[in-house]
Each structure stands twice: as structure tokens, then as C-alpha cells.
Chains A and B, each alone.
Chain A
Amino acid sequence: MRVLATYSIKGGVGKTATAVNLGYLAAREGTRTLVWDLDPQGASSFYFRIKARVKGGGKSLVRGDMDLDSRIKATDFPGLDLLPADFSYRHLDLELDQTAQPVKQIARVLRPLAGEYELLIIDCAPSISLVSESVFRAADVLLVPTIPTHLSIRTLLQLLQSLGNVKSKTLGVYPFFCMVDRRKALHRRTAELAAEIPVPFLQTQIPYSSLVEQMGSHRSPLHTFARKSAPAKAYEALWREIGAWIEGEKGYYTGG
């Protein structure tokens, strides 16, 4: 099972849309996929029309004393399941802290799922915390949606610095530009912005589009209502870039 986390220190950058649409595309190709909505706000769960509630809350999940599988829900799409969010996830740091090895804990509780899914996408909450650190340890790939602004670039640098402290040799960090608006001068100079980062950006850029926002009113992945739109095509391109990695065909920069 490959583990991919969509992560950003900033909120509202298209993290959840990425997790939901990539999960949909992966499953559509026949990859057995699980999305874990680890954000207490429960946006992924909302998009899949699944109640953001987990029996026993985050506490029981993190302690690993229950059967994770029994908390999983099927989405409306074959091959795509969801481990829903729960409001109690906001206390997850505290719960993790009480385990023996907090940083390794998430990787440990995920282990039993390895046989059942080929791909796990973790939709993380926007913050740097013990939870995110534990996710970094569990993940193979960190997908970081980045809006082409100086502020976002600065946050991304902060993230890379903090990742330097995480002891993982295998974690690959893949930033990509999203909500790109060609009408804005800065958004046309993404190459310059990317040059400030010591890690290569993925080639795909997700354009700004109100269709992505409409996922909230449709409560469904983009492709179910705007299959041929520009952002839908962009997510497909993103999945192809990332999917190649899932197949283990491409060696990107890995480091921290």
C-alpha cells in the first residue's frame, strides 16, 4: 500500500479537492483506494456525503485498540472507500502524545489495511503538529498544493525546513501549483517562484475554477459533473504524474 498525504500548512489551498479528485481517479482506474479524512472539519467526508463521525472518535483510532476496518465506509464509487473525519480529531495531538511512540503511531495503526488497499490518501488538517509529523512518518509522498504567491512559497520553505527534522529518508515531497489564475501577473511567473524552492515542482498546474468550488454544492468529485472541464483535465494530468510514481516507475526527488 502506497501512502500519499495531501498537506499544506495554510488552509483553503485546494488540499481536500486534490484528495477527493485523485482518490476518484485512482479508483476509476482500478486501484483499490482509501481516503482518510484526517481534518476535523470533515470536508472530504462532506464531499462524499458520508457523515463526519467515527464511532469511538479519534481516541480509539489512534490508540489502535479497535478494528480500523469496521470504521470504513464505501463511497458511491466502486473501489473507493473513506475513513471519515470526526470532530474529536481536533484533540488528536493530545491522544497521540499519550501513546508510547507518537511519531510512529499513525504508521502503526495503518498497517492492517495494507493488504486491502493499494493506495491510501490522507487528507491532513492544515497545521504543523504532532499529528502531521506522525503522518509524515507514515507517508511515502507528501503532495503540497501551493498557490502562486510569495506568501505560499514562504510557507512551503518553512515546511521543508521543518521536514528536515523528521527522520524519514523515504518521504518524497511534491509541491504543485494550484488555483492558478492566468489573469494575475504573478501566476504567470510560476517558474520564477518555483526556482526559490530547493525541490522541483510537479509539472501539472491546477487552474483556478469555480467548478472546483461547486464540488461543495454537488457533494461529489469534479468528474461526476464536469468531466471535460479544464480543472478535471488538470487533475487527470496530476494523477498521471503521481500515478506513475504509484506504479514505481518514476524516481522523483526524495529528501527532507
Chain B
Amino acid sequence: MLLFVLEPEISATEVLKGLGEVFDLAPGEHARERLTYLDTFDWRLHEAALTLTVSSHGRGVRLALLADDQRSWEARAPRIPHFGRDLPSGPFREALESVSSIRRLLPKARVRWDVEEFALLNEDDKTVVRVRIRKGQAALPDTRETGSVATRLELVPLKGYEGELKKALSVLRRTFQLKPQDRRELSVVLEALGRAPGDYSSSFKLDLDPDLQSHEATRAVHRCLLDTMEANQEGMIQDLDPEFLHDFRVAIRRTRSALAQVPGVFPEAVVQHFEEEFRWLGERTGPTRDMDVYLLKIPGYRKALPEDARDHLEPLVRFLSKKKRLEHQRMVRSLGSKRYGRLVDEWKAFLQSPAETDRDSHVPNAARPIGTVAAERIWKSYRKVLKRGRKIDRKTSPETLHRLRIDCKKLRYLMTFFQSLFPTKALKPLIKEIKSLQDNLGDFNDLYVQRAALLGFAGEMMATEVAPPATLMAMGQLMGQLEASQSVEGEAFRARFERFAREKNQERFRKLFDGKKDEAPQESASAPAPEEAAPRAPNLTADAEAETADPGRPPDPERAEVDTADPGRPPDPERAEAAP
């Protein structure tokens, strides 16, 4: 099908008249359809070149999934599905769920289409080209705001009549200067509403100028992260899907990391205050996330058990769901609190405040160019990872491995914040290396934490008498399996680390980040950093995270999202973001 978008000054009638001078024109069907366009919050379908529409059909709905390469799927359902998994299995669900995964399908726009069909005929009154004129009134799902979609003219070619199609195309080109366009329907629809698809993505994207003063650049990073938090707030309060809360929490952690890892750009009092407040926010949102994580793991747990033991997990599912509801209510109350409102207002005000406020305080890095400061910080963070990693052997405790993982994460955050300052080609493989190491450590830690968490759940379930023996035994079986996998991951670590620490990589890091020895160093960036075991303000960043390695405490929310329940796509945006 060839698509033409008619500018307001060209009317469809005129174009039809023009075609009518060359062909006989026969009117065909005149149809109206109401379509709702669905996508996930982060536009996964759009990113995957898919368009999902839903229209009412009898008592239910008709779903149509269309790929840019013209493949299409159709399905009927009693109501609009919330998730891909709500549909019966089959090719439609497979095509949809492999992309939408655990994210909720949300209405992005509604359109009332008015479609008039015409046939271009030859001398035998045979149809040689079909013409459709589509006019649409679009509306955003939750507002009364409407807009007229630019009128579309579609030419549908018929096999064996290519000559006639060419003739029609030449009329459109010569008489009306119309050329076929290659744009997705939803893009055109959203344009009518002043929107564009892809207005949210969970990956961090920010273009920085290396000459920008560091306090300005860091403010920009924080603004970006705050935008992400605000974008996800509503969805996480409504609990539309677990990714809203997850993205929100990732932004909190990144904010805390940026506060601590780029020192000397904001006044110390400011850093301390907001660090405290964001830590509080992290704690208030953590328990709900923990429950989300374990609920997401359930399908994987079921698969790991023998078939006849799988249903024994149902009491655990009920226990977790109930706990999740309670924790979510508690979290929503926190988000409605004065403290949270004040945090957002003050933080916004600070990020928008002019640079002058920083001048009086002790902020040695504030005015230095971010290109220099970022390289320094990344170089330092990298050497810290190397140092701790080298000390690790078979006897190393899980807690130490966990600390190494946190160091890796800080390094990766820094590289992510400032990726635009370094050549992509050089940076990308390094981020990939660190991601691979982090994944391994994460898997190890995750298995350790999961075992502890299952034990904790079992205790709670027994105390409240909701645990049949079969359920406890199934959970015990799972713990055994987790332990076995853990030792496999532990074995793999050495090899991964050797790879990461190899000379070639060290050289790459040095080249990118260690070019600043000639400048006056702030802190001891060029020294071998003997104090690394006790980094600056360690209690600000590492505490909450390090604690999570303690048995009996809920699982590590940062890592656990790589659940086996979701084979289609790892839901963890941190991991997916390595390719900027």
C-alpha cells in the first residue's frame, strides 16, 4: 500500500477528480471505524515497528497487530487485554508478548476513521488500482482534546496492473506534487494531537558539552533523572505494571549515586540533605518492589519444580500478593506525604536555581569543565573496582562480592551519565565489559538473596499459619536449587574478572579517562588511591545497598528484576541500556 498525506490545501475531491481524468472511477464502500491505538508506557511496540489497534466487535473486541514489513495478526477477545499474557496462546500473543513482555498495554490515542473506497477501472471496467481516502478525528485517551488527522490517501496496488499503478502515481506526482510517504499511522495520529511516540524511554539519554561547568552538567543529569521519576509516578501509584516502580527506583539510585560520585559540585549541606531524603524515598519504595520481584519470579519457580509440586506454591503467591497490596498502600501514603512533596519541590527549586548560589560554599569542582571532572571520576571508580576485584578468591564472603558489585554499578552509572562526553565507539565495548561482570556478580548475589528471602517468607508464613507443609517443602526444594546455581556462578566469577581486568581493557580505560595528569588534581585522583577501601562518604551510598546482602532481609531490589519469569525480554532497563 502506498500512503500519501494530503496537505490542507489539497482536497481529496480534487485528487479524485484528477485520477478520474485518466481512469474511470467507481465508488466503493464507505466505512467508519473507531480504533484505539495501544502501546506500552515506554513505546515498546512502536520501537519494534509494530502497531496494535483495538476496535469493538460484537460483545468483545477485535485486536489487530500490524508490522511495518506488512506482516499482520488478528485476534478477538472478550475485552481489551491488560497484558499480552491475558490473550490465549497462539501466534498473535506470541508476536505481541515477545515485545510487550510484562508491561501493560495502555491506550495512546483514539481515532474515529472515516474510510471511503474507490476503484480505478480500465476499459473493461476491471479494477486496476484501489484508492482509499481516510479522514480521522483523533483524541488522547484521557482528555477531551481532539485533533483532525491529516487526510490520508492510500493506493492499493493490484497484482498484474503495475503499469496502471505507475500511471496513477504520475497523476499524483505531476498534478498534485504528491509523493508516497513512509510513516507509521500512529505517528501521524499523534502529530494531530501535538504528541510524538517515544516520549518516554527508560534508558538514560543526555547530551552534554564537555566544556560545560560541572555543576551545570550535574544539574542537567539530575533534572533528567527527576523527569523519569515524575513520568513514572502515576503508573506506580496505580500499579499498572511493575516497571513503573522499578524505573522510579532506578532513578532514585542514580540520583543518589550522582550526588555521591560527582563530589565538590554542590555545597556539602545540599548533598547531605538530599542524599538523606532520597535514601528515605528508596526505603519507602523498596518493600513493594521486593514483592513485585518475587511475584515475577513465580513462573520461573514453578518451572523449576516437578510438575506435581508446582501448585503447592499457590499459598506463597497468595502470601506475596497480600503483602504486596499492603506495602503498596503504605508506599502510596508515603508519596502523598508532606515530606515527599517537599522533597520534590526543594529539589526542583535547587536544580533550577542559578549557579551563583554555589559560589560561597566549598565547591572545588563546580566551575571546572565536566569533560575533565567526569573522566577523573570514572578513572577513579574504575581503579577501585580493579583493586577490590583482585583481592577476591574462593574464600571471599558474599558480602565482599556484593560490595564489588556496588562498585561496578557506580562505575557504570558514571559512564552512563557522561556517555555523551566520550566517543561512543570507544565507550560502548567498555560498558559492555562492565555489564557482563556486573551480571555475573548480580546473578551470584541474587541467588544468595533469594535463598535468604525464601527462608524469611517461610518463617512469616508459618507464624501466620498460612503455610501447608507441601508448600514449605516446595520452597525448600527451590532453595536447594538456588544454592547449586550459586556455586556455579561463583566459579564463573574469576574468569569474568580476569577478562575484565586484562591489560587491553586497562589500556582502553586509561586512554579514555586518564588523560588529565597535567591538570591540578582535586582530591587524589592521580595517586594510587590507598584510601579506596574507605571511600569518601561511604555511608552515603553503600549502606542501604550493602545491607541487602544480609540473610533474612528482603531481596536486593536492584538485581532481582532479572527474573526467569520473562524469557522474552529482560525487564531490567539497567541491563538493556548498555547500548545507548
| Nearest-CB residue, chain A, relative to B119 | A76
Partner of B127 from the list A51, A72, A76 (CB cut-off 8 Å) is A76
**B contact residues around A219 at 8 Å (CB):** 124-125
Contacting residues of chain B (125-172) with chain A, CB-CB under 8 angstroms: 125-127, 158-161
B119:A73 contact, CB within 8 angstroms: no
A49:B159 contact, CB within 8 angstroms: no
B158:A74 contact, CB within 8 angstroms: yes
**B contact residues around A49 at 8 Å (CB):** 124-126
B126:A50 contact, CB within 8 angstroms: yes
Contacting residues of chain A (47-63) with chain B, CB-CB under 8 angstroms: 48-51
Query: How far, in angstroms, from A81 to B125 measured CA to CA in the complex?
Result: 17
Contacting residues of chain A (168-193) with chain B, CB-CB under 8 angstroms: none
**B contact residues around A51 at 8 Å (CB):** 124
Counting chain A CB atoms within 10 Å of each CB, which of B119, B159, B160 scores highest? Answer: B160
In the complex, per-residue mask of B475-499: 1 if CB is within 8 Å of any chain A CB, else 0:
0000000000000000000000000
B124:A73 contact, CB within 8 angstroms: no
Q: How far is the CB of B157 from chain A (nearest CB, A)?
A: 8
**B contact residues around A76 at 8 Å (CB):** 119, 126-127
**A contact residues around B126 at 8 Å (CB):** 48-50, 76
Q: How far is the CB of B477 from chain A (nearest CB, A)?
A: 45
B125:A74 contact, CB within 8 angstroms: no
B159:A81 contact, CB within 8 angstroms: yes
| Nearest-CB residue, chain B, relative to A70 | B160
Interface size on B, residues (CB 8 A): 9
In the complex, per-residue mask of B109-122: 1 if CB is within 8 Å of any chain A CB, else 0:
00000000001000
A73:B161 contact, CB within 8 angstroms: yes
Contacting residues of chain A (121-168) with chain B, CB-CB under 8 angstroms: none
Query: How far, in angstroms, from A48 to B124 measured CA to CA in the complex?
Result: 10
Query: How far, in angstroms, from A219 to B119 measured CA to CA in the complex?
Result: 16
**A contact residues around B158 at 8 Å (CB):** 73-74
**B contact residues around A50 at 8 Å (CB):** 124, 126, 160
Query: How far, in angstroms, from A74 to B124 measured CA to CA in the complex?
Result: 14
| Nearest-CB residue, chain B, relative to A49 | B126
Counting chain B CB atoms within 10 Å of each CB, which of A49, A51, A71 scores highest? Answer: A49
Q: A50-B126, A51-B124 are in contact. Are A72 and B160 (CB under 8 A)?
A: yes
Q: How far is the CB of A85 from chain B (nearest CB, A)?
A: 14
B160:A74 contact, CB within 8 angstroms: yes
Query: How far, in angstroms, from A237 to B229 measured CA to CA in the complex?
Result: 63
Q: Kindly state the interface size class of chain A when it binds its partner.
A: 10 to 19
Query: How far, in angstroms, from A76 to B161 measured CA to CA in the complex?
Result: 12
Contacting residues of chain A (65-115) with chain B, CB-CB under 8 angstroms: 71-74, 76, 81
Q: How far is the CB of A66 from chain B (nearest CB, A)?
A: 14
Query: How far, in angstroms, from A50 to B126 measured CA to CA in the complex?
Result: 7
**A contact residues around B160 at 8 Å (CB):** 50, 71-74, 81
**A contact residues around B125 at 8 Å (CB):** 49, 219
**B contact residues around A71 at 8 Å (CB):** 160
| Nearest-CB residue, chain A, relative to B122 | A49
**B contact residues around A74 at 8 Å (CB):** 158-161
Q: How far is the CB of A220 from chain B (nearest CB, A)?
A: 10
Query: How far, in angstroms, from A50 to B119 measured CA to CA in the complex?
Result: 15
**A contact residues around B124 at 8 Å (CB):** 49-51, 219
**A contact residues around B127 at 8 Å (CB):** 76
**A contact residues around B159 at 8 Å (CB):** 72-74, 81
| Nearest-CB residue, chain B, relative to A48 | B126
Q: How far is the CB of B129 from chain A (nearest CB, A)?
A: 10
Query: How far, in angstroms, from A85 to B484 measured CA to CA in the complex?
Result: 71
**B contact residues around A72 at 8 Å (CB):** 159-160
| Nearest-CB residue, chain A, relative to B26 | A76
Q: How far is the CB of A58 from chain B (nearest CB, A)?
A: 17
Contacting residues of chain A (26-59) with chain B, CB-CB under 8 angstroms: 48-51
**B contact residues around A73 at 8 Å (CB):** 158-161
Query: How far, in angstroms, from A48 to B125 measured CA to CA in the complex?
Result: 10
Query: How far, in angstroms, from A76 to B121 measured CA to CA in the complex?
Result: 10
In the complex, per-residue mask of A186-227: 1 if CB is within 8 Å of any chain B CB, else 0:
000000000000000000000000000000000100000000
Query: How far, in angstroms, from A73 to B160 measured CA to CA in the complex?
Result: 4
Query: How far, in angstroms, from A199 to B127 measured CA to CA in the complex?
Result: 41
Query: How far, in angstroms, from A71 to B162 measured CA to CA in the complex?
Result: 12
Query: How far, in angstroms, from A81 to B161 measured CA to CA in the complex?
Result: 12
**A contact residues around B119 at 8 Å (CB):** 76
Counting chain B CB atoms within 10 Å of each CB, which of A50, A74, A81, A219 scores highest? Answer: A74
Q: How far is the CB of A3 from chain B (nearest CB, A)?
A: 20
Q: How far is the CB of A131 from chain B (nearest CB, A)?
A: 23
Q: How far is the CB of A64 from chain B (nearest CB, A)?
A: 19
Query: How far, in angstroms, from A56 to B127 measured CA to CA in the complex?
Result: 24
Query: How far, in angstroms, from A51 to B158 measured CA to CA in the complex?
Result: 15
Q: How far is the CB of B122 from chain A (nearest CB, A)?
A: 8
| Nearest-CB residue, chain B, relative to A69 | B159
Q: How far is the CB of B124 from chain A (nearest CB, A)?
A: 4
| Nearest-CB residue, chain B, relative to A51 | B124
Query: How far, in angstroms, from A219 to B124 measured CA to CA in the complex?
Result: 10
**A contact residues around B161 at 8 Å (CB):** 73-74
Query: How far, in angstroms, from A58 to B159 measured CA to CA in the complex?
Result: 20
| Nearest-CB residue, chain B, relative to A50 | B126
Q: How far is the CB of A95 from chain B (nearest CB, A)?
A: 22
Query: How far, in angstroms, from A71 to B158 measured CA to CA in the complex?
Result: 13
Q: How far is the CB of B162 from chain A (nearest CB, A)?
A: 9
Query: How far, in angstroms, from A203 to B313 measured CA to CA in the complex?
Result: 57
| Nearest-CB residue, chain B, relative to A82 | B160
Counting chain A CB atoms within 10 Å of each CB, which of B119, B124, B126 scores highest? Answer: B126
Query: How far, in angstroms, from A51 to B160 measured CA to CA in the complex?
Result: 11
Q: How far is the CB of B71 from chain A (nearest CB, A)?
A: 15
Query: How far, in angstroms, from A49 to B124 measured CA to CA in the complex?
Result: 6
Query: How far, in angstroms, from A162 to B160 measured CA to CA in the complex?
Result: 37
Query: How far, in angstroms, from A81 to B127 measured CA to CA in the complex?
Result: 13
Query: How far, in angstroms, from A80 to B270 measured CA to CA in the complex?
Result: 72
Query: How far, in angstroms, from A255 to B161 measured CA to CA in the complex?
Result: 41
Counting chain A CB atoms within 10 Å of each CB, which of B119, B158, B161 scores highest? Answer: B158
In the complex, per-residue mask of A210-252: 1 if CB is within 8 Å of any chain B CB, else 0:
0000000001000000000000000000000000000000000
**B contact residues around A81 at 8 Å (CB):** 159-160
| Nearest-CB residue, chain B, relative to A83 | B160
Q: How far is the CB of B215 from chain A (nearest CB, A)?
A: 63
Query: How far, in angstroms, from A72 to B162 measured CA to CA in the complex?
Result: 11
Q: How far is the CB of A168 from chain B (nearest CB, A)?
A: 31
Query: How far, in angstroms, from A76 to B119 measured CA to CA in the complex?
Result: 9
Query: How far, in angstroms, from A192 to B160 measured CA to CA in the complex?
Result: 47
Q: How far is the CB of A51 from chain B (nearest CB, A)?
A: 7
Query: How far, in angstroms, from A49 to B119 measured CA to CA in the complex?
Result: 14
Q: How far is the CB of B75 from chain A (nearest CB, A)?
A: 15
Query: How far, in angstroms, from A51 to B123 measured CA to CA in the complex?
Result: 11
| Nearest-CB residue, chain A, relative to B124 | A49
Query: How far, in angstroms, from A73 to B119 measured CA to CA in the complex?
Result: 16
Q: How far is the CB of A26 from chain B (nearest CB, A)?
A: 17
Q: How far is the CB of A42 from chain B (nearest CB, A)?
A: 13
14 contacts between A and B (CB under 8 A): A49-B124, A49-B125, A50-B126, A50-B160, A51-B124, A71-B160, A72-B159, A72-B160, A73-B159, A74-B159, A76-B126, A81-B159, A81-B160, A219-B125
**Closest 4 A-B residue pairs measured CB to CB?**
A73-B160, A74-B158, A49-B126, A74-B159
A residues at B contact (CB < 8 Å): 48-51, 71-74, 76, 81, 219
In addition to A49-B124, A49-B126, 13 A-B residue pairs with Cβ atoms within 8 Å of each other are A48-B126, A49-B125, A50-B124, A50-B126, A50-B160, A51-B124, A73-B161, A74-B158, A74-B159, A74-B161, A76-B119, A76-B126, A81-B159
